[in-house]
């Protein structure tokens, strides 16, 4: 029996292609424009698409704009949905409502049974009636085609809905692949009281091959990429209240980054890594969040395996397309609509072909003038969202043969769970790290 | 403002100097209906102001400006505010809306206002 094997284990590699260019805003110039421009771009793109899909759906009906509606005439209209929500916090409430005991902002979900939907295009808007379109499913900003007719009350009675559906997917070459794994982790929250440094160190040690025997190391050698999906640091709010910091507090401000950098250096020395910003990271608030500055990572940024990426993040590994966000879009959908689970929200955003339909209504967004970067043109193979409560996954099959792996990545500081995806068959499993020391 | 003396400014709300450099409003405002009157100096009705010739109506009533205003108001190309006319034309061109080519030549060539009528006012 050999005690010391002479051969070294080589880590597998894969080709990486970044598709984040659409989400970068360095070239954008702010000229005082309002959000009407991004809504126009969204409506125009989606309407062109829906007009091409309508003949396959109901070819016998005329398509008209909202102002061209006539009472009793059955037709198809295309526009942006607006959901009027009674409980949605409005800045004007601070001035109009009496200061009662009830708080102005309610915490979790702003839905109410009196919510109703309105369809809007450039010519006008019309209130939607009927039971086919459920206000609890849809949110403001989704573009759909509706079949129905105008009632005598002036509303539009909806008989059927057409969503854009899953976008077309590029065919992957069907060569027999070997097992290659991608690890997703999110919500490290280094610097918060709930994060356990030992857990993340265990994860790092496992990925870099410092744990276990040769078989374990062989498994670790098949990990080709790590994606950190947002909320890597958490700075206590007491330090961020806008007042000048004493010098001892200043070091508290930078401690989480130093700790993160040490760990990321260990990872970057070993395999390629992508880090995305999240809601608690020092990046801009509005989507698309720009990459975290490399000066925050003096140690790890020197490696060419270290990549700071935008949120949302889109990339290809061995021509498998990955698309995902750090969770702000899904969290906003949770506040303004309801579904059985988070994977349903993910599926809906794909069917609506828009990553964040509630932007810019309730989700901060940059006012683009010429395009809407959140439109999904090509169906990803893996669609992930980070910073969720628990690990969930599903394989979604589309009508044209699209196959998408939907993944909800849980917060690592709370659950100790990272997600591992096998690129050969798009199968997913959880990697759990526990640090219970039993007595 | 050529007709008002300095101390008239005391009575009327001051307008910020140099809001835009394109000089979008002719100082001899031809008719109050078309002018956005921010505390405007309409102490003298235009008819009483002598111009020693024809009114300089070029900026507002030029034929080219009318064509451009029609382009601004056309809903098919989206909202006209917050975007320069040329950017809006190029966006329309890029997204396949086929805007008329003459607008592009007007904007790139002559001395026309590069921004829509509402720019800076709303």
CB nearest B79 (choices: A37, A48, A123): A37
Q: Which two tokens stand for residue A214?
A: 């040769």
The average confidence (pLDDT) of chain A is: 90
Answer yes or no: is pLDDT of A344 > 70. Answer: yes
Residues 6+ apart with CB under 8 A from A290: A24, A25, A26, A277, A283, A284, A310
- Indicate yes or no: CB of B87 within 8 angstroms of CB of A370: yes
Distances (CA, A) of A213 to A182, A206, A217, A397, B71: 21, 11, 6, 39, 72
Answer yes or no: is pLDDT of A8 > 90. Answer: no
CB nearest A36 (choices: B79, B90, B91): B79
Answer yes or no: is pLDDT of A376 > 90. Answer: yes
Does B84 lie at the interface with A, CB-CB under 8 angstroms?
yes
- Indicate yes or no: CB of A31 within 8 angstroms of CB of B83: yes
Does B79 lie at the interface with A, CB-CB under 8 angstroms?
yes
Nearest CA in chain A to B77: A40
What pLDDT sits at residue A434?
86
Q: A267 in helix, strand or coil? A: helix
Does A67 lie at the interface with B, CB-CB under 8 angstroms?
no
Answer yes or no: is pLDDT of B30 > 50. Answer: no
Residues 6+ apart with CB under 8 A from A405: A381, A382, A383, A393, A394, A395, A396, A421, A426, A428
What pLDDT sits at residue A218?
87
Could you tell me the fold of the domain covering A2-28+169-238+246-327+367-432?
Purple Acid Phosphatase; chain A, domain 2 (3.60.21)
- Indicate yes or no: CB of A32 within 8 angstroms of CB of B82: yes
Answer yes or no: is pLDDT of B14 > 90. Answer: no
CB nearest A37 (choices: B78, B94, B95): B78
Distance of CA A145 to the CA centre of its chain: 25
Q: Which two tokens stand for residue A128?
A: 């939607």
Total beta-carbon pairs less than 8 A apart between chain A and chain B: 41
pLDDT bucket at A3, cuts 50 / 70 / 90: very low
Distance of CA A417 to the CA centre of its chain: 19
The pLDDT of B36-42, averaged and rounded, is 50
Domain ranges of chain A: 2-28+169-238+246-327+367-432, 36-95+108-162
Does B83 lie at the interface with A, CB-CB under 8 angstroms?
yes
Q: Which two tokens stand for residue A170?
A: 């590029």
- Indicate yes or no: CB of A40 within 8 angstroms of CB of B78: yes
CB nearest B82 (choices: A34, A48, A123): A34
Give A62 or B54, the one with higher predicted confidence: A62
Answer yes or no: is pLDDT of A374 > 50. Answer: yes
What pLDDT sits at residue B33?
47
The pLDDT of A13-37, averaged and rounded, is 90
Residues A104-132: tens digit of each pLDDT:
556 688 888 899 999 999 889 999 999 99
The pLDDT of B13-26, averaged and rounded, is 51
Give the angle A229-A377-B72 at the CA atoms, nearest 5°: 110
* C-alpha distance from B79 to closest chain A C-alpha (Å): 6
Mutate to test the interface with B, among A32, A39, A44 (most CBs of B within 10 A): A44
Domain ranges of chain B: 58-109
Distances (CA, A) of A305 to A218, A383, A423: 21, 23, 19
Whole-angstrom Cα distance, residue A329 to residue A287? Answer: 9
What pLDDT sits at residue B46?
52
- Indicate yes or no: CB of B94 within 8 angstroms of CB of A370: yes
The pLDDT of B40-53, averaged and rounded, is 54
Q: Which two tokens stand for residue A191?
A: 């610097």
pLDDT bucket at B57, cuts 50 / 70 / 90: low
What pLDDT sits at residue A288?
94
Q: What is the ipTM of this complex?
A: 0.79
Whole-angstrom Cα distance, residue A79 to residue A82? Answer: 9
Whole-angstrom Cα distance, residue B83 to residue B120? Answer: 11
- Indicate yes or no: CB of B91 within 8 angstroms of CB of A370: yes
Residues A115-174: tens digit of each pLDDT:
999 999 988 999 999 999 999 999 999 999 999 999 999 899 999 999 999 999 998 875
Nearest CA in chain A to B84: A31
Crossing angle of helices B63-73 and B85-94, in 10° steps, is 50
Residues 6+ apart with CB under 8 A from A238: none
The pLDDT of B20-45, averaged and rounded, is 48
What pLDDT sits at residue B50?
55
Residues 6+ apart with CB under 8 A from A265: A299, A300, A303
Task: Give me the percent of chain A exceeding a pLDDT of 90.
Answer: 70
Q: On the CB side of A182, how many CA atoms lie within 13 Å of its CA? A: 28
Could you tell me the fold of the domain covering A36-95+108-162?
OB fold (Dihydrolipoamide Acetyltransferase, E2P) (2.40.50)
Place of tokens 């959908």: A333
pTM greater than 0.90: no
CB nearest A44 (choices: B81, B82, B95): B95
Residues A53-66: tens digit of each pLDDT:
999 999 899 999 99
Whole-angstrom Cα distance, residue A424 to residue A106? Answer: 45
Whole-angstrom Cα distance, residue B51 to residue B15? Answer: 24
No. of H helices and E strands in chain B? 4, 0
Task: Say if CB A376 and CB A163 are below 8 A apart.
Answer: no
């Amino acid at each position: 029996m050999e005690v010391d094997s002479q051969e070294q284990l080589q880590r597998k590699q894969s080709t990486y292609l970044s598709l984040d260019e659409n989400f970068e805003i360095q070239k954008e110039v702010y000229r005082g424009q309002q959000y009407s421009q991004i809504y126009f771009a969204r409506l125009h793109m989606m309407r062109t698409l829906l007009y091409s899909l309508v003949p396959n759906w109901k070819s016998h009906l005329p398509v008209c704009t909202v102002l061209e509606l006539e009472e009793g005439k059955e037709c198809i209209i295309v526009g942006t949905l607006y959901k009027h929500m009674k409980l949605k916090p409005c800045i004007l409430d601070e001035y109009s409502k009496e200061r009662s005991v009830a708080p102005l902002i309610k915490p979790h979900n702003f839905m109410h049974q009196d919510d109703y939907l309105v369809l809007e295009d450039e010519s006008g808007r019309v209130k939607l009636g009927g039971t086919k379109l459920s206000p609890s499913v849809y949110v403001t900003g989704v573009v759909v085609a509706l079949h129905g007719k105008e009632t005598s009350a002036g509303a539009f009675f909806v008989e059927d809905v057409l969503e854009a559906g899953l976008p077309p997917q590029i065919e992957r070459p069907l060569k027999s692949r070997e097992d290659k794994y991608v690890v997703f982790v999110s919500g490290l929250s280094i610097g918060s009281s709930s994060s356990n440094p030992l857990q993340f160190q265990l994860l790092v040690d496992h990925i870099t091959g410092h744990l276990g025997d040769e078989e374990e190391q062989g498994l670790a050698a098949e990990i080709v990429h790590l994606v950190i999906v947002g909320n890597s640091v958490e700075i206590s709010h007491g330090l961020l209240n806008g007042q000048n910091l004493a010098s001892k507090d200043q070091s508290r401000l930078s401690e989480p980054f130093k700790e993160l950098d040490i760990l990321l250096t260990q990872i970057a020395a070993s395999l390629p890594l992508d880090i995305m910003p999240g809601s608690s990271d020092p990046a801009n608030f509005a989507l698309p969040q720009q990459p975290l500055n490399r000066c925050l990572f003096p140690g790890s940024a020197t490696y060419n395996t270290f990549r700071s990426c935008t949120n949302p993040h889109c990339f290809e590994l061995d021509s498998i397309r990955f698309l995902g966000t750090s969770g702000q879009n899904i969290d906003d959908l949770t506040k303004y609509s309801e579904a059985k689970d988070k994977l349903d929200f993910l599926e809906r955003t794909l069917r609506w072909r828009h990553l964040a339909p509630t932007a810019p209504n309730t989700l901060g967004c940059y006012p683009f003038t010429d395009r809407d970067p959140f439109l999904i043109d090509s169906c990803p193979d893996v669609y992930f969202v980070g910073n969720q409560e628990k690990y969930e996954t599903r394989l979604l099959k589309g009508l044209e043969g699209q196959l998408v792996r939907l993944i909800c990545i849980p917060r690592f500081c709370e659950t100790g769970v990272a997600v591992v995806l096998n690129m050969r068959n798009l199968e997913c499993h959880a990697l759990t790290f526990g640090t219970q020391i039993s007595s | 403002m050529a007709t008002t003396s300095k101390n008239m400014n005391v009575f009327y709300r001051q307008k910020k100097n140099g809001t835009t450099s394109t000089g979008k409003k002719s100082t001899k405002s031809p008719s109050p209906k078309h002018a956005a009157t921010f505390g405007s100096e309409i102490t003298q009705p235009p008819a009483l102001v002598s111009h020693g010739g024809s009114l300089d109506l070029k900026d507002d009533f030029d034929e080219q400006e009318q064509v451009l205003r029609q382009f601004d108001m056309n809903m098919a190309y989206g909202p006209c505010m917050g975007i320069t006319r040329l950017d809006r034309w190029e966006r329309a061109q890029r997204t396949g809306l086929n805007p008329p080519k003459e607008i592009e030549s007007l904007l790139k060539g002559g001395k026309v206002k590069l921004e829509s009528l509402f720019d800076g006012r709303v």
